[in-house]
Amino acid sequence: MKLVQSTERPWTSPDTYWTSLTAATAELETPIGAISLPALAYNTYDMLARAGGKPIRVASKSVRVRGIIEEVLRVPGYAGVLAYTLPEALWLAETIDDVVVGYPTADRVALATLGTDEKLNSRVTIMVDSVAQLDLVDAAITPTARLPIRVAIELDASWDSALLGHTGVYRSPVHTPDAARALAEVVLARSGFRLVGMMGYEAQIAGLANKPASKARGVVVRAIQRRSITELADRRGRAVAAVRQVADLEFVNGGGTGSLESTAADPSVTEIAAGSGLFGPHLFDQYVHFAPAPAAAFALSVVRKPTPQMATLLGGGWIASGPPSRDRLPELVWPHGLSMVANEMAGEVQTPVRGAAAEKLQVGDRVWLRHTKAGEISEHLNAMAVVDGASIVETLPTYRGEGHAFL
């Protein structure tokens, strides 16, 4: 498998695209996870163009297929991984030389390993936003018993709007430049730590769809994002400058798939984290400034016909994280013209569907769905079939297929 830039866009012809995936995976048993190689390649290079020359750190949470992560990292312009747990980071660092853990850890066993394994210690950076997290590391393995642990400080990138209040997600308590510098000084004063980076994830820009079904809501969201981009660029710039006065930072990470352009425009940011855009889940159909290809999808089998006008799929309740609502459900994409039943929707073991296409479906037929987000699809599958045209070119195990469920 190799990611080659191409002008071909087979997904723009749904009749051909989804029937090709069906033909390529015909011998596989459902549930089937498939990745279109041309679509994945398109997304990989489109993200690079949107990043404007700044390197992209692959957000592993949004992929969870080691073979895909490693292949993307072979493309010039991608560098390093943003992991979601320390055990995952240690596992990836066996072969990847730059892994930043995007969230704080309380895993004492993993911390002890990080502090005593020279190779992993040199490759993995943990995330902190409080003195309590430093204390936890010291409790897990004392400074005298460990190699210095690489640390990055997370800056809160949410927007405190005078009108709307807190806008974004609740992550780090470090919001101001003074708070960032104060924590940096604590890290530097304590033995057993090395301050090497900063990070800030602007969820209200990167992860908030700005072309929703409601046009009025879209206008409001885009206005919020414009204001937040301006505020964050100023505050993050001052915070980074304050920390750089006391520490020689190797990197400043920011962004996400939905904010590649605005994050790249921030001169204080040295790299951008992104991953969801590689798979192109249906959440990203609702953005005005980019349109990723539907590279990853899954197929389920029809197992019963409760009425001649309906068909029932085995499985389907692959609900995405976030506020429980209809937009967290998988999207029925092929055959065209299917909808879920309002009082059942996507179920753990069955999903009834109706619509004109449902009348034609027979027991044993297959239906393609797209997940709302990205990496969560890999938690339900042992492998992903990489498809080019009507052929499987490679089968790659997911984290689950390799025996891991990190979170």
Over the stretch 12-26, which tens digit does the pLDDT of each residue have?
A: 999 999 999 999 999
Query: What is the model's pLDDT at position 140?
Result: 98
For the stretch 311-353, pLDDT in tens is 999 999 999 988 888 888 999 999 999 999 999 999 999 999 9
C-alpha angle with apex 67: 64 to 71, nearest 5 degrees?
115
- Find the length of the chain: 407
- From residue 301, give the alpha-carbon distance in Å to each of 94, 273, 311, 365, 377: 38, 35, 10, 6, 17
Whole-number Cα distances in Å, 186 to 138, 192, 238, 271, 394: 14, 12, 19, 25, 48
Q: How high is the pLDDT of residue 163?
A: 86
Task: Tell me the pLDDT tens digit for each residue of 260-309.
Answer: 999 999 999 999 999 999 999 999 999 999 999 999 999 999 999 999 99
Would you say 198 and 250 are in contact if contact means Cβ atoms under 8 Å apart? no
**The pLDDT of residue 213 is above 90:** no
CA atoms within 13 A of residue 130's CA, in its CB half-sphere:
11
Q: How far apart are the first and last CA of the chain?
A: 28
pLDDT confidence of residue 322 = 86
Span 118-144, pLDDT tens digits: 999 999 999 999 999 999 999 999 999
Instruction: Yes or no: say if 303 and 363 are a contact pair by the CB < 8 Å rule.
Output: yes
What is the sign of the dihedral through the CA atoms of 110, 113, 117 and 122?
Answer: positive
- Residue 164: which pLDDT band, with cuts at 50, 70 and 90? confident
Mean pLDDT over 71-83 rounds to 98
pTM of the model: 0.95
Share of the chain above pLDDT 70, in %: 100
Q: What's the confidence (pLDDT) of residue 194?
A: 98
Contact 269, 255 (CB under 8 A): yes
Domains of the chain: 37-276 (3.20.20.10)
Contact in structure between 92 and 119 (CB atoms under 8 Å): no
pLDDT in tens, 172-195: 999 999 999 999 999 999 999 999
Identify the H or E element spanning 354.
strand 350-354
Question: Contact, 208 vs 258, CB < 8 A?
Answer: yes
Range with lowest mean pLDDT among 85-94, 322-331, 374-383: 322-331
**Per-residue model confidence (pLDDT) at position 325:** 83
Work out the mean pLDDT of the chain and round it to a whole number.
96
Average pLDDT of the segment spanning 189-207 = 96
Closest C-alpha to 371, from 384, 361, 358:
384
* Region 360-384 average pLDDT: 96
Closest CA to 275 of 59, 22, 46: 59
What is d(CA 91, CA 387) in angstroms, rounded to the nearest whole number? Answer: 27
Task: Provide the pairing of β-strand 124-128 with 296-304.
Answer: unpaired
Largest interatomic CA distance in the chain = 72
| pLDDT at residue 230 tops 90 | yes
Q: Are 374 and 63 in contact (CB under 8 A)?
A: yes
**Interatomic CA distance for residues 94 and 198, integer angstroms:** 23
pLDDT digits 0-9 by tens, 34-44:
999 999 999 99
Query: Quick check: helix, strand or coil at residue 227?
Result: helix
Spacing of C-alpha 353 from chain mean position: 29
Q: What angle do CA 349, 328, 277 make, to 5 degrees?
A: 115
